[in-house]
Structure 1
């Protein structure tokens, strides 16, 4: 059972406003202030400070927020586990590549094994999922791309090939090409925050380039639209192997690679640090 003062602290971290925190908690503003002062006195440090009229977390406040998020999550899950005849509950996040092209067999197996379970799957880009995880809206997430791993419990699930795709009749089809040759193409790429985009941007940085190196860049969040446009010869893209496996086999898309730029990406299990359920959840992907 989580100490109410820690819950007050977490809500204030979300709202960064004493009045809104009090409204959400159904407390008076002085009560919220008292809870925060108690924690500051207990730990012997300031947790919040004002910069002008803007409330900010101190470094100590940031550390306590990370610890308390895990405590709040574990407390919630223990309460649910101890409830009489409580059904299994699982809230999973998956980045778009994993959610659309990898995770379906895992979900089917879980629902078959737990017919009474409460289950939800949130499919979004990596950064959105990590924010939902930190807010306690997910039990764990399966993500791709780059993120600050030191903030979470993580496990590598699998490595996936990542390469260029174009229409079958395109001049790049089946070739290994230099970056200079690619720069003349219209690039179709996912939105900022997606793991797919992060992998490609990192490959560009390794060759001292950015997306500004391309004369035409179209940002599209939907895989189906990207693949359709590429198949019609309206641009090229870079995607994980599972996303285009069927199209490559059918011959509606073709692969190409970048010279001196071997690309691959990690699919990772991620949950809050010190999560008591991390091991059992991590086994879910195996």
Structure 2
């Protein structure tokens, strides 16, 4: 909490430290107060809110589900407060920006955003490529200002702007047997190896949902190859080594050159939202909306 500006009752700050350390002793040491004072503040906060935040059964301290939600909220408020104060103190200085992006989007959308931020003369731009789960966690912790993601998320928990609806397509090498058919069913797909992204990837989650809707599981494929990079998946497909599902923009050049082909699935083409996600009620929401609008046009 060093260097932060306390916008909340000090009891909330104490609770946030306790939720992180899960230790009254460590919390007291970190805040330079007594252990009984920590306990008293937490009990006072619980009484005021009428909610149990902590369960302590020696030697284990557990943060309740309500406590976890409150700690996440306090963390978001603190991060926002620090950013706002820094902006108010130095209005002429363009702040640095840090964002997360999922691997698939890093292939085509993140470079456009970086170019946009460069044009706006941001001095320091930090782009972190990760999966949807980690990207959302980084927003919660304040490690990222916002994220570009394609995975599912709690739309009540975050602010967000839909950047575009991107086709999510089944893809094979142009000379693959399935590419020669006029129509393909999910039953046809299960005769070939399936190349998928890793657990935690938004693309994998979308594919799992698609397969489930068609009453198909990954276990029905003769092989399931997990690759944690869309570029590598593209190369594996070019070898004719199986089928995969990716965003059309990831393989646009290979489709244009005729090296890869989109599967003519009977279920039709799925379009999935690509979102710019940020802390709910963010002070910088107008900036995020402008960037999302610019990306839509791009």
Whether the TM-score (by the shorter chain) exceeds 0.5 is yes
Distance 1:22 1:91, change over 3 A: farther
Q: 1:173 aligns with which of 162, 175, 179?
A: 179
Q: 2:128 aligns with which of 119, 122, 130?
A: 122
* Alignment map for 1:178-257 (pairs within 5 Å): 178-257=185-264
Q: Aligned with 2:156: secondary structure?
A: helix
1:101: how far off? 1.5
Q: Is the 8 A contact 1:102 1:242 kept in 2?
A: no
Structure 2 runs not aligned, ≥5 long: 294-298
CA deviation vs aligned residue, 1:137-183 (integer Å, no higher than 9, x gap)? 11111110212222211221110001111111101116430111100
Partners of 2:25 and 2:50 lie apart in 1 by 24
Q: Aligned with 1:101: secondary structure?
A: coil
Say yes or no: does 1:151 pair with 2:154: no
- 1:67 counterpart residue number: 73
What TM-score do you get using the length of structure 2 for normalisation? 0.87
Q: 1:78 aligns with which of 73, 84, 88?
A: 84
Q: 1:58 aligns with which of 64, 70, 88?
A: 64
Partners of 2:83 and 2:114 lie apart in 1 by 20
Say yes or no: does 1:132 pair with 2:144: no
> What RMSD in Å do the two structures reach over aligned CA positions?
2.2
Partners of 1:228 and 1:22 lie apart in 2 by 54
Distance 1:28 1:251, change over 3 A: farther
Q: Is the 8 A contact 2:114 2:125 kept in 1?
A: no
Partners of 1:50 and 1:261 lie apart in 2 by 53
Q: 2:279 aligns with which of 262, 269, 272?
A: 272
Distance 1:180 1:70, change over 3 A: same
Partners of 1:17 and 1:248 lie apart in 2 by 56
Stretch deviating more after TM superposition (6-15 or 52-61)? 52-61
Aligned pair count?
Answer: 285
Structure 1 runs not aligned, ≥5 long: none
Q: Is the 8 A contact 2:186 2:216 kept in 1?
A: no
Partners of 2:97 and 2:254 lie apart in 1 by 33
What TM-score do you get using the length of structure 1 for normalisation? 0.90
1:87: how far off? 3.5
Stretch deviating more after TM superposition (135-144 or 81-90)? 81-90
- 1:107 counterpart residue number: 114
Q: Aligned with 1:177: secondary structure?
A: coil
Q: Aligned with 2:83: secondary structure?
A: helix
Say yes or no: does 1:93 pair with 2:100: yes
- 2:49 counterpart residue number: 43
Stretch deviating more after TM superposition (238-247 or 60-69)? 60-69
Distance 1:63 1:105, change over 3 A: closer
1:59: how far off? 4.3
Partners of 2:66 and 2:35 lie apart in 1 by 22
